[in-house]
Amino acid sequence: MNFKDLYEGVEPTLPGAPKGIKVMTPQQFVAKQGDGEPGEQDPEKDIDENTITHGVPQPKTDEKLRQYYADLKAKKQQGVAEGEVAQHAGPIVLVHKAYRDNIIKAKEALQRFHAGGPGSKLEIFPPSGRYGPDYYEFHLAAKPHNSIEAIKSTLKGEGVQAGVVDGQQNMAEGASISGDGGAVDNFKQQMANNTELNYQKGVAEGTDNLARIRKLSGLIEADLLGAPTKPFGGQDFQDYMARIAGTPDIDKKTGEVKLDKKGKEKYVSGKTKQDKYKMPYIHRSSVIKYYNPEGKRYDEDQVKQALGQRPKKLLKQNEKMKHSNGELEQFFNVGFAALVGIALDEDNKNLVIVNTCPGAGSCKIDCFAMKGGKIQFEAAWLSDGRILTYLLNDPDGFFNQLSSEISREEKDGKKGGYSVAIRWHDAGDFFSPEYVDMAFKLAKAHPEVNFYAYTKMGDVAIGNKPANFMINWSEGANTTQEKKVKSQDPTLASTKNSRIVPDDTFDDLLVKNEKGNLVKGSEGQWQVQPDKLPELKQRLAQLYGLSANSILSYDEWATKGKNNPMMKWNVIVTPGEPDVSATDPGVLSTLLLRH
The 10s digit of each residue's pLDDT in 220-277 is 333 688 888 889 999 999 999 999 999 999 988 898 999 888 888 899 999 998 888 8
Quick check: helix, strand or coil at residue 97?
Answer: coil
Split at pLDDT 50, 70, 90, the class of 483 is very high
Residue 119 confidence (pLDDT): 53
Regarding pTM above 0.85, the answer is no
**Consecutive H or E run containing 418:** strand 418-424
- Under the banding of pLDDT at 50, 70 and 90, the label for residue 39 is very low
The answer to whether the beta carbons of residues 568 and 551 sit under 8 Å apart is: no
- Percent of the chain at pLDDT above 70? 65
Report yes or no: 299 and 292 within 8 Å, Cβ to Cβ.
Answer: yes
Which element (helix H / strand E) includes 329? strand 328-334
CA distance 496 to 474: 9
Q: Are 381 and 303 a contacting pair, CB within 8 Å?
A: no
pLDDT at 174 over 60: no
Q: ∠ CA 299-305-307 to the nearest 5 degrees?
A: 105
325: β partners:
none
Q: Give the distance from CA 522 to its chain's centroid.
A: 37
Within 10 angstroms of residue 158's Cβ, the number of other Cβ atoms is 16
Whole-angstrom Cα distance, residue 203 to residue 36? Answer: 21
Of 128, 188, 137, nearest to 165 by C-alpha is 137
Residues 167, 164: Cα–Cα separation, whole Å? 9
Question: In the sheet where 316-322 sits, what is the strand order?
Answer: 316-322, 328-334, 418-424, 450-455, 469-474, 497-501, 587-593, 569-573, 551-553
Paired sense of beta strands 328-334 and 122-125, if any: unpaired
Contact 247, 341 (CB under 8 A): no
Say which residue, 319 or 68, is predicted with more confidence: 319
| C-alpha span between 324 and 172 (Å, rounded) | 65
pLDDT digits (tens, 9 = 90+) for 175-221: 222 223 333 344 334 433 432 232 223 333 333 334 444 444 333 33
> What whole-number distance in Å separates Cα of residue 178 and Cα of residue 181?
8
Q: How far apart are CA 186 and CA 171, in angstroms?
A: 19
User: CB-side exposure of 528: number of CA atoms within 13 Å?
Assistant: 23
Beta bridge partners of 471: 453
CB 369 within 8 A of CB 454: no
What b/e string do you get for 436-473 counting C-beta neighbours within 10 Å, with b at 16 or more?
A: bbbbbebbeebeebbbbbbbbbbbbbbeebbebbbbbb
Rounded to whole angstroms, the maximal C-alpha distance in the chain is 91
